[in-house]
Amino acid sequence: MKIFGLDLSTRSVAFLLIFSLIGLLLYQVNYSAIIGVKFDAKFTLFQFIGPMAAGIFGPALGVVSVLLVSLSNFILTGKALELPIIVSFFTMAFAAIYFGSKNKATALVAAICMLLFWLNPIGQQAWVYALYWLIPIGATFYKQNIIARSLGATFTAHAVGSVAYLYAFSIPAASWIGLLPVVAMERFAFAAGIAVSYCVANTLLQALSTQTDLSFINIEKKYALVKA
């Protein structure tokens, strides 16, 4: 059954819910603190698998999965609907769209974020920080490469989140400059995690596809470590 062009067969919904449940579990495992903000906010292991949902289910259902995980975590934890929570919804959704879409238009998100950052008086003082977002722009030309796609996805999330925090909290320019080396280590770690997770997922799905019909999802066989 298709609704608005989305495959909502029993199997696709079941796999979507299984993936979302795994994502929700990983959301409970903190990876690192978000440095530079005054509130208690943390990155979780969900950062490593969230974007790849769109690679498996397609951009639309991938975003549905990401939002389902984020909303479920919000309800589960009972936290107030504050900016960090809202931002987390959007950052991972944009990362998923970038990862799952072959369209070069996904680079527009990073380009718009660069412009918004430089239009801000504080952002103008820390203009070099936004140059990181040239990565997702350039990576759109190499989306056939899993590393480029993973880097583009995580830096797209970074761009959206950074601009939101800049305008909401007026974080001083010195803090943005000080975060430059932290961002490099953090985002390259996330990109590596996304790439490895995607290879593991494709390997498992490829093996499972020999036993059952998985034509409703996308399996990139070149990233499956064990060939059928």
Q: Are 187 and 158 in contact (CB under 8 A)?
A: yes
Q: Per the domain annotation, does 95 fall within a domain?
A: yes
Return the biggest CA–CA distance within the chain. Answer: 58
Short-list 14, 30, 32, CA closest to 73: 30
Q: What is the CATH number of the domain that holds 31?
A: 1.10.1760.20
- Provide the pLDDT for residue 3: 43
pTM for the whole structure: 0.90
**Strand, coil or helix: 228:** coil
Q: Per the domain annotation, does 178 fall within a domain?
A: yes
Q: Per the domain annotation, does 91 fall within a domain?
A: yes
Q: How many CB atoms lie within 10 A of CB 151?
A: 24
Give the whole-angstrom CA distance, residue 15 versus residue 32: 29
Q: Per the domain annotation, does 228 fall within a domain?
A: no
Average pLDDT per consecutive 10 residues, the chain (228 residues; last block may be shorter): 56 86 88 63 83 92 91 82 78 94 94 98 97 97 95 96 91 94 93 94 92 88 80
Specify the residue for token string 């030309």.
141
Residue 174 sits in which domain range?
2-223
Q: Are 98 and 109 in contact (CB under 8 A)?
A: yes
Angle at which helices 107-119 and 146-169 cross, to 10°: 30
Q: Per the domain annotation, does 56 fall within a domain?
A: yes
- Provide the pLDDT for residue 9: 73
- Provide the pLDDT for residue 31: 74
Domain count, the chain: 1
- Provide the pLDDT for residue 97: 95
Q: Per the domain annotation, does 7 fall within a domain?
A: yes
Q: Per the domain annotation, does 202 fall within a domain?
A: yes
Q: Per the domain annotation, does 23 fall within a domain?
A: yes
